[in-house]
Chains A and B, each alone.
Chain A
């Protein structure tokens, strides 16, 4: 615990900078730090219990998925059936990649692997779902006139919305593509750094990091595309019409 106390000195510096430059973020720094300590402490406690039991670890993954779906669905306010869409898209991305990782015996199907891998997949899928869903909603709302001009030319609603779906899905995928392109050049990513700090060799750390990056590319692509397609469908009404999203 002494080491954490030492590192907290850096938070003290951040608070001092905020006070000195009148950023008014002192309270936020304190709240964020306390929350991080409490949340990670609780998670460490729970995970230490869950690591002993496969059924408990699966239940833990379900809880992670539920929280992620709830969080994303709140971002998708105004989208019909937002909860179902978020659960389906995050679930599809996570399940598909977990099936490859554990079905393909890339990693052993054991709690110490299931929890972190599922956590990374679900967390990144959640971000992709929120970004793609919000983008589709905004595109349909902002470009309503353009969408109707397309519909008026006698194309299906699916075809009329195609450019916006594509744009939204692309936006959700760009971060992971850029991260993968620049890995090792701009930043040392989390899994790599964590393994090095944990005493693994650089080769072993690189191997695990590549597994994580490729897994994330796949899961985010599935979740982002699924979200864009499902949110789009939610705004299509009978008669090849578009229901304009309500004001946010």
Chain B
């Protein structure tokens, strides 16, 4: 696949984040190994999404740091950081215009084959390039969002509950896509509140509870640490 450049390692050191005077993340220390799929799991409101957003500086932590291959993320230009560390949101957001315009948004030099490769990596046919964004199903839109991130050749992909807005079939297709991205050597970090999904897509997992890392290991290993009250 042409879209996976050298995958990056992401280390989080002593991360604290407050929002409106309320602690969201507390002393988070965790590492995400390059080239594998890691699930960040935990009950709703545990701080999983906030942790993800700190990794590409959509949110600024109060203290602590995020290291991308050993370099403090704050030393990188935010625009460069976000191209290296792409992000997929819970709800797919496509901009006005067609799929082609969405894929090439913000990029000056792109050839048609890059766009087709990105669609292929997102398990979509090249004919989608000519489709209107408004004509896509939610599942298709989410895969176009993934293709849009891949066309930038990211070193890592952050995915925030990427299947939560999708029906069962579309979820299965996106889960399969996440596995294939991992198999192709991209660093993928998937936030999910569903331990079953974590087991299906990830080889490693980080359990976040009340803004702290409660356990790390394989998805099966962290199951015992899952808080009972969270169900």
Which residues on A are within 8 Å of B, measured CB to CB?
A: 145-146, 148-156, 159, 163, 237-241
Contact = CB atoms under 8 A, between A and B. Distances in A.
Nearest to A154: B83
A139 to B, nearest CB: 13
A163 B101 CA distance: 14
Nearest to B148: A153
A149 B89 contact: yes
Interface residues of B, number: 25
26 contacts: A145-B93, A146-B95, A148-B58, A149-B89, A150-B105, A151-B58, A152-B82, A152-B87, A152-B89, A153-B82, A153-B148, A153-B149, A153-B152, A154-B80, A154-B152, A155-B105, A156-B79, A163-B95, A163-B96, A237-B60, A239-B57, A239-B74, A240-B78, A240-B82, A241-B57, A241-B78
Contacts of B91: 145
Contacts of B74: 239
Given A153-B105, A153-B148, A153-B149, A240 B79 contact: yes
A60 B112 CA distance: 61
B86 interface: yes
Nearest to A242: B58
B57 A159 contact: no
A152 B95 contact: no
B208 to A, nearest CB: 21
A156 B78 CA distance: 8
Given A148-B89, A149-B145, A156-B79, 5 more contacts: A145-B89, A150-B105, A163-B95, A239-B60, A241-B59
A150 B58 contact: no
B86 A152 contact: yes
A237 B95 CA distance: 23
A145 B95 CA distance: 11
B38 interface: no
Nearest to A145: B93
Given A153-B82, A153-B106, A153-B149, A241 B93 contact: no
B140 interface: no
Contact of B106 (A148, A154, A239, A241): A154
Contacts of B96: 163
Nearest to B94: A149
B56 interface: yes
Given A145-B91, A150-B106, A153-B152, A239 B86 contact: no
B70 to A, nearest CB: 20
Interface in B33-78: 56-60, 74, 78
B217 to A, nearest CB: 29
